[in-house]
Amino acid sequence: MVSICFYFHVHQPHRIGHYRIFDVGENKEYFDDKKNKEIIEKITGKCYLPMNNLLLKLINKHKGKFKVSFSITGTFIEQLEEFAPEVLDSFKKLAKTGCVEFVSETYYHSLSFLYSKKEFVKQVKMQEKLLNKHFKVKPKVFRNTELIFNNELAKFIEEMGYEGILCEGADRIMKWKSPDFVYGNVYAKKIKLLTKNYKLSDDIAFRFSNKGWEHHPLSVEKYVKWLNKVNGNGNVINLFMDYETFGEHQWEDTGIFKFMEKLPEELLKNKDNNFVTVSEALKYPKMGDLDMHDYVSWADTERDLTAWIGNKIQDTSLKELYALEKYVYATKNKKIIDDWRKLTTSDHFYYMCTKYFNDGDVHKYFSPYDSPYDAYINFMNVLNDLVLRIKKQIDIKKIGKNEVKLINKESGELIEISEKPSSLI
Amino acid sequence: MLGWEFPPFFAGGLGIVCYEMTKIFAKRSDIDELIYLMPYGPKDHESHINLKGANQLLDEYKKKLTKEQQKVLEKVNIKFIPTLISSPYMSPSEYQESYKETKKNINFNKLHWQDIDLLNDVDDKKNTNFHDQKTARNILYGGNIFEEVFRFAKRVAYVTRNMNFDIIHAHDWMTMPAAIAAKKMSKKPLVVHIHNTIYDRYLGTGGFDEKELEIQGMNEADTVIAISNMVKNTLVEKYQIPEQKIEVIHNAATQLDEKRYDHMNTFEGKKIILFAGRLTMQKGGDYFVRAAERVVKYCPDTVFVVAGTGDQLGRMMDLASELNILKYFYFHGFYTLQERDVFFGMADLFVMPSISEPFGIVPLEAMAKRTPTIISFQSGISEILQNTFKVNFWDVDMLAEKMVCLLKYKEMHSQISDSGYHECKSKTWDEPVDKMINVYKKLTGDNNG
């Protein structure tokens, strides 16, 4: 018996508009709604609508035997509400079939787990609320931004009440183990891990249209043969990928939609196979515990944090952003808090990656900037403007060398005494 | 290979580029010998074409070289082609006369190379110090250069009659007549390497005789190498050279000095933004001054160092004065190589807002010293550099923005310094030479190495 667990990640950031240093203090909006709208509309036509329709068709056709799981970020849903409500409706339709499960994450697709547990919890709660509002579900499985994972996260998420976590089946973690089983974690005894089979996932997500690949063009028959091979050596094949794979990364003319249309039928020909959602996959017994002290992610060839963290501009901008957290909340100003949270989206730091020579092409493809340095300038200019706005809302009184009192100007309330003053303020 | 300069006799970047290139060629096992033909003023009156004379020059030349350079020359055979030394040793009218005479005699398309008298037009009475850069410059480019260009061609024709080689590789317009001549004599394939065109040298306002030679050379060429897509586009649009005939091969970094001079307190701890080079129209000096006006409002502790001289120096000074920011400027004027080294090593930022720069190797000099750079999209080098800021030369606001941010955001300054340094180190001549050898192989039908 082998189960196929399809999981699709759907996300778009609020991209920042061109923000010059000369714009600081000029009350200019940070986010480029025009551009964000254009992108949402473009991908809606190429991917979201056609793929949602295809999934709905397949679910109906196979009468409940075809299932998939989704994580849809808050920043994406916000943009759908504004720019493409028809896409949100079609996701709701999928939710109603009962064959689609929703996975929880941070609302803002942020790196907050690494920088502020307090903010992390807030963003996960927001996401839970959002999923409940739109899809009437209470998620049982969690995925952290870009599948960033380690032992500490497993423990933390277990304590938040989740039953399972998705993570990358990176070779350095799996070693001789197969990703096609359910595992536990050495520190979090209750929670179960679903590890991505990156080879079979990337065959669809990355290699599908690669004409230099020996298996190009990939036929459904051949792919299903590969999946069948796992039968007997594994319980569940975790095929995790960006949803934009369908129609956006792999264009329609590559045959990706036709491939997906035929796949369930071909796979279900073998009566030993089935499709499962993420929490159904968790029903398989654990095949031992994984120990992941260092962070693992699904990004770049390194599958670590270096896509977002590690060079000086990424580290500085992240540090300065999170140093503002207490000041931001002290303002009690909805717009300031909202703007700051949108800035926590990991994409902004992904654009600042300077690993040009190996993964650079991928970073460049997704980046709206000419260079990582331009991304940094834009971000820091915005952050400097945010500081000015914060200062209008709160009084910051120095007490001692390393402590500041934050007092809300409007209410006169002492919000808190902060020990780590921001260097920007 | 046909060139006009070679260190230590060079007037500009072309000599260095040719030298760096030949160094790598010399290492390659698939190249048996590289013969470099270049003009040289006469020392040997008896016989201009007497190779003994030329070899004497070569021996003299070799003595001047470092061990490393000598080693390079083992496989590189430099042949000096004696030419008439022009200004400052001839009056313009004398030159004009001889020039007219030559032009009358030479119909370029119907030249009878064998018939040309090579011996009667050289004056060896003037002793010149060829090892002094300034003199060398005057020798190579002085007076009426067309005269020299045609004379060089005649002699190259003569020399190449009995020479054994497989391919001709000629650099820039001055060697075009020589290249055509060599091709006619030898029937060997011709590669023409274009480092710049009249549209870069005169911004389209002159040099039409030179353009004529460029066109003839490229028409005769089997393959044209352009040092950037920018040059390629010019060749396609302004010269009507078929696109498929052109290969773009970008230049690489030469051996660059890495030393910094941060300890020097010349400008009292102020941030230094450097603009360096010949101050000609195409360097975009105006835009630099206009951007400075915006920058000083945000970063008043900045000094704008302008190193170099040229016809735009006065214009830049006037503009700075007009904008009331002259006090933020330091105009250094002409600089020595050593001063140049110090300026690049103490700058916090190097700016090259060129209006038209077929390649522009200078940012690499800054990067080797970990000085961040801002360059214009209108430079060929912007096609291959990653760790730099690129702006349109006319976009003064954007230029100012990048300057301010580089001064303000220290971590970014540090990141781009490091990444730029490593990028610069990775730009060796091996890759461009590989590409050139591939061009040769295609033309000679030698695909086995």
Residue B113's identity, in one-letter code, is W
C-beta atoms of A373 and B408 within 8 A: no
Q: Tokens 């339709």, residue?
A: A93
C-beta atoms of A381 and B390 within 8 A: no
Categorize the per-residue pLDDT at B445 as very low, low, confident or very high, splitting at 50, 70 and 90: confident
Same domain, B209 and B139: yes
What pLDDT is recorded for position B384?
92
Same domain, B69 and B178: yes
Query: Is residue B365 less than 8 Å (CB to CB) from chain A?
Result: no
Q: Evaluate whether residue B266 is within a structural domain.
A: no
Same domain, B190 and B202: yes
Same domain, B435 and B418: no
C-beta atoms of B412 and A20 within 8 A: no
What pLDDT is recorded for position B277?
86
Same domain, B220 and B179: yes
Could you say which residues from 388 to 407 on chain B have a Cβ atom under 8 Å away from some Cβ of chain A?
388-390, 397, 401-402, 404-405
The pairing of strands A403-408 and A414-418 is antiparallel
Categorize the per-residue pLDDT at B40 as very low, low, confident or very high, splitting at 50, 70 and 90: low
Rounded-to-integer distance, Cα B213 and Cα B108, Å: 10
Rounded-to-integer distance, Cα B260 and Cα B341, Å: 9
pLDDT digits (tens, 9 = 90+) for B349-380: 999 999 989 998 899 999 999 999 999 999 99
**Range of the structural domain that residue B37 is part of:** 13-252+430-444
C-beta atoms of A377 and B419 within 8 A: no
Give first-to-last CA distance, chain A, whole Å.
60
The upper half-sphere exposure of residue B253, i.e. CA atoms within 13 Å in the direction of its Cβ, equals 22
Q: Which residues does chain B have within 8 Å of residue A356's beta carbon, measured at their own beta carbons?
A: 386
Same domain, B332 and B395: yes
pLDDT digits (tens, 9 = 90+) for A55-100: 999 999 999 999 999 999 999 999 999 999 999 999 999 999 999 9
Residue B246, SS3?
A: strand
Point out the residue among B386, B397, B409 whose CB comes nearest to the CB of A371.
B386
Tally Cβ neighbours within 10 Å of residue B49: 14
How many domains, in total, are found in chain B?
2
Of A163-167, A396-400, B33-37, B205-209, minimum mean pLDDT range: B205-209
Point out the residue among B397, B404, B416 whose CB comes nearest to the CB of A373.
B416
Asked whether the predicted pLDDT for residue B82 surpasses 70, the reply is no
Categorize the per-residue pLDDT at B77 as very low, low, confident or very high, splitting at 50, 70 and 90: confident
pLDDT digits (tens, 9 = 90+) for B383-424: 999 999 999 999 999 999 999 999 999 999 999 999 999 999
Min Cα–Cα distance to chain A from B347, Å: 19
Of A63-72, B121-130, B224-233, minimum mean pLDDT range: B121-130
pLDDT digits (tens, 9 = 90+) for A120-174: 999 999 999 999 999 999 999 999 999 999 999 999 999 999 999 999 998 888 8
Q: Which of A18, A19, A21 to mutate to test the interface with B (most CBs of B within 10 A)?
A: A21
pLDDT digits (tens, 9 = 90+) for B162-204: 788 999 999 988 889 889 989 988 889 999 999 988 888 777 7
> What Rg do the C-alpha atoms of chain A give, in angstroms?
22
Same domain, B243 and B278: no
What pLDDT is recorded for position B447?
56
Same domain, B322 and B399: yes
Q: Which residues does chain A have within 8 Å of residue B367's beta carbon, measured at their own beta carbons?
A: none
Min Cα–Cα distance to chain B from A392, Å: 22
Mean pLDDT to the nearest integer, B290-305 = 95
Q: Evaluate whether residue B264 is within a structural domain.
A: no
Inter-residue contact B259 to B340 (CB < 8 Å): no
Q: Provide the phi-psi class of A7: left if phi over 0, else alpha when psi is between -120 and 50, else beta.
A: beta
pLDDT < 50 stretches in chain A: 358
What pLDDT is recorded for position A275?
97
What pLDDT is recorded for position B130?
38
Mean pLDDT of chain B: 79
Same domain, B399 and B439: no
Active-site residue among A101, A146, A158, A168? A146
Q: Evaluate whether residue B309 is within a structural domain.
A: yes
Same domain, B239 and B288: no
Same domain, B276 and B197: no
Domain of B440: which CATH number? 3.40.50
Contact residues of A toward B, CB < 8 A: 20-22, 311-313, 315-316, 354, 356, 360, 370-371, 373-374, 376-377, 380-381
Q: Evaluate whether residue B261 is within a structural domain.
A: no
Domains of chain A: 2-290 (3.20.110.20), 312-418 (no CATH)
Pick the closest to residue B438 from B14, B30, B46 (CA basis): B30
Min Cα–Cα distance to chain B from A248, Å: 26
Asked whether the predicted pLDDT for residue B120 surpasses 60, the reply is no
Q: Evaluate whether residue B81 is within a structural domain.
A: yes
Domain of B287: which CATH number? 3.40.50.2000
Q: Tokens 């670590």, residue?
A: A304
What pTM, to 2 d.p., does this model score? 0.84
Q: Evaluate whether residue B3 is within a structural domain.
A: no
Q: Evaluate whether residue B349 is within a structural domain.
A: yes
Is-catalytic flag, A146? yes
Same domain, B211 and B333: no
Q: Evaluate whether residue B265 is within a structural domain.
A: no
Query: Is residue B425 less than 8 Å (CB to CB) from chain A?
Result: no
Min Cα–Cα distance to chain A from B288, Å: 18
